[in-house]
Chain A
Amino acid sequence: MTEEGSDIASPSDRTTPTIEAEGVVVRYGDIVALDNLSLKVSKGAVGLIGPNGAGKSTLIKSVLGLITPQAGTIKVCGLDSVTDRMLIRDMVGYMPEHDCLIETMTAVELVSYMGGLAGMSKDDAMPRSHEVLDFVGLGEERYRPIGTYSTGMKQRAKLAQAIVHDPAILFLDEPTNGMDPIGREEMLDLISRIASTNKSVLVSSHILQDVEKICQDVIIVNGGIAIVQGDINTLLSQAKGRYRLKARGPPDSIKAFLQQLKGQYEIITVSEDFGQVTVVLINEGGSNGIFDRASLSGVQIRSYVPDRITLEEVFITSVKEGSR
């Protein structure tokens, strides 16, 4: 019996990255899956989002050492993903998106089996399996074959097998896939609780509200490149100073009003719907000037509220800009 990974660097704070990728290139024949990708993953929950085929799964497989990049390096807690892949895999828990459970086994059998494969002794694996199954909320069902489980129960079992060996880094691929709203909330709560124990949890999801809810950081991948990465709050605070204005009035008055606004403010979007014009603009100062101009132009302002930007908007904007 040996203890592995004792010399592994252990980042002490959220600013020290646990995963660092630099200029990673992965090609499948002529298809470029990762194109000079560079990113840093900190501790806590980090969202990994991107359209289908963006390179998310390839990135996870590269970190796990299942794929060897043609160029670039990936460091996990200071370990190289190619030369130290076995040490890295002992530090990583992976919850795949698709069905991957052995259906003839019970959850307790599967989780303890996976614990054994992750290096736990028999004496450790069984009590630990019960502990993590308690944690994920699988009660007596744990003694039933997995083939009889609902989708939500399978997701819990998948999470349990990923955390049984207490990995420092967790990859969760679509963790709430197919779950009902209550189950989804519970899964997000579980992920938050795991992330709060000084771990890196990389959550790949198409449900951006989930990512927004539980992640501190986000990485948006498109075309094999990390086009956006950083703190979610910082990204969403791009809306600071953005206001959504709705106004009605005669067409000529509206036209004149818009001309005045364009001269004074940065206009993001203008749209018209049944005679009502909606303008998204940047206004760092007060609102009096806008109301005065509306009054002089003969335009009635129906609403003037701060505009809220969502992760979905950040995602769509980034992907569109990235593909131009």
Chain B
Amino acid sequence: MSLNPIEYRPWEGKRTDSSNRFMVIASKVFRHKLESKWVLGLLILGTFLTFGFSIIFNSINSHEGLTSESMASQMGDGLFFIIIIILVSMICSDLISEDLRSNSLVLYLSRALKPEGYLLGKALGALMVLSIFTILPPMILAIATTATQSGDDYLASISVIAQTLVASAWSTIFMVPIGLMISSLTPRKTYAAVGTFMTFFLLMLIGGILSSFDQNWSLIDPTFVLSRSYEVIFGIDMISGINGGLLALAIGMMLVPPSLFVYWRIVAKGVGK
């Protein structure tokens, strides 16, 4: 290694708008995650286990049409939630923790990138990866079921496809803020991954125990909240005893405080606190 006697040359290209630069982070996260054989393996295995059989079964068996109930039931399956939790733990674990460990946060924030742009880029990258599991398979199932239906009410089926799109997009977004929050708490990605999984697991456990006193305590459990959200999105009756206001509060608590916390962490780290 020695110095090449070339001179410093200026760059005279045009810059992109600073408000769009979060996309650079998002595409980097997306490519990096898909290079991980573990993430890729889980995406394939998860898709096959949760929706693979249903796609094949629905395509070859006769059915009248696509119904909200069948999609809500399909997406409300426990295995679907567990795989989402594992994926969120794996995908989000190093998104912020690795930048904290390597101190590379300063490289991002010394460029024309606001903390919200940095977070948006990281979150969008995670959502893009997660959507391969949460959006693609349910949509394939819904479209395949509609394409092979025996009935002629395609309009009803198409409206269920739209509901499926909303429900699957919601599944993608719902758990990522908690994953990012845990990732911003530690500079070790292993701790972040285990911490994220255990957080969801403990919330499920506590929700399950407390629900024996009052059904609304189940709203501590993120998977329960997600299931009830599906019922709202698909327009089917929510299980009795659940307060709609408390459901909205639970959703807010799982999205807003984690997002604010991770934003505060990034701002604080950016100024060296």
A residues in contact (CB < 8 Å) with B: 1-5, 57, 61, 64, 66-67, 86-87, 89-90, 92, 94, 96, 98-104, 113-114, 116-121, 124, 128, 131, 134-135, 137-139, 141, 152-153, 161, 163-166, 186, 189-190, 193-194, 197
Contacts and interface: CB of A to CB of B under 8 A. Distances in A.
A61 B112 contact: no
Interface string B9-39: 1111111111001001100100000000000
B14 A3 contact: yes
Interface string B100-120: 001110111111111000000
A124 B4 contact: no
29 contacts: A1-B15, A1-B16, A1-B17, A2-B14, A66-B271, A86-B114, A87-B112, A96-B103, A100-B103, A100-B104, A102-B99, A103-B102, A113-B28, A116-B21, A117-B107, A118-B15, A118-B112, A119-B15, A121-B16, A124-B11, A128-B11, A128-B13, A134-B4, A135-B6, A135-B7, A166-B10, A186-B3, A193-B7, A194-B8
A101 B111 contact: no
A114 B105 CA distance: 12
B153 to A, nearest CB: 47
Given A4-B18, A92-B110, A165-B11, 16 more contacts: A1-B17, A67-B271, A94-B107, A96-B107, A96-B110, A101-B102, A114-B107, A119-B112, A120-B15, A121-B14, A135-B7, A152-B1, A186-B2, A189-B3, A193-B7, A193-B8
A139 B17 CA distance: 32
B102 A137 contact: no
Contacts of A94: 106-107, 110
A163 B8 CA distance: 10
A113 B270 CA distance: 19
B98 interface: yes
B272 interface: yes
Contacts of A124: 11, 13
Contacts of B103: 96, 98-100
B125 to A, nearest CB: 13
A96 B24 contact: no
A25 B6 CA distance: 42
Contacts of A131: 9
A170 to B, nearest CB: 11
Given A101-B104, A118-B15, A61 B25 contact: no
B107 to A, nearest CB: 6
Contacts of B10: 166, 197
Contacts of A152: 1
Contacts of B102: 99-103
A94 B4 CA distance: 22
Contacts of B2: 137, 186
Contacts of B13: 120-121, 124, 128
B27 to A, nearest CB: 9
Contacts of A166: 10-12
B5 to A, nearest CB: 10
Contacts of B98: 102, 104
Contact of B21 (A96, A119, A189): A119
Interface centre among A2, A100, A117, A194 (most CB of B within 10 A): A117
A3 B13 CA distance: 9
Nearest to B13: A124
B222 to A, nearest CB: 30
Nearest to B14: A3
A134 B8 CA distance: 10
Contacts of A1: 14-17
B15 A113 contact: no
Contact of A137 (B3, B99, B112): B3
Nearest to B18: A86
Nearest to A194: B8
Given A4-B17, A119-B16, A193-B7, A66 B112 contact: no
Nearest to A173: B106
A120 B25 CA distance: 13
Contacts of B3: 137, 186, 189-190
Given A3-B15, A61-B271, A117 B111 contact: yes
A295 B167 CA distance: 102
Contacts of A104: 98
Contacts of B108: 117
A117 B21 contact: yes
A89 B21 CA distance: 13
